[in-house]
Amino acid sequence: MLTVSPDNQVLVNTLIPVNPKDKWFNFAISDEALFHATMLHSAAHHSMLVGNNELAEPSQLNSEAIRILNLRLGDPSQGVSDLTIAAVACLILFEVGRVL
């Protein structure tokens, strides 16, 4: 939902899981898969704000996150790690947001 406030600041309610004051950010910058999944949300959010429907950069970020996750899923310990599950959840939220 996009709303423009009286002082021309844009306030957006989205499924973006990133809040710099939250612990998520620390995890996102320390894990490659979660970083790409988080950046995917940011790039898509930016595209939405500027009215650009071309999702070239978000598509690349999505592909890279999935590539990293596919490698991890072959490892019994990494495949079920909290960071892997968080990255998968982040990608699911992205797909749900695209449908809505």
The H or E element spanning position 99 is helix 82-99
For the cut 90, the answer to whether the pLDDT of residue 72 exceeds it is yes
Could you read off the pLDDT of 20-57 as tens digits, one per residue? 556 777 788 889 999 999 888 888 877 777 877 666 66
Higher pLDDT, 6 or 62: 62
Do the beta carbons of residue 60 and residue 47 sit within 8 Å?
no
Looking at the whole model, is its pTM more than 0.75? no
For the cut 50, the answer to whether the pLDDT of residue 7 exceeds it is no
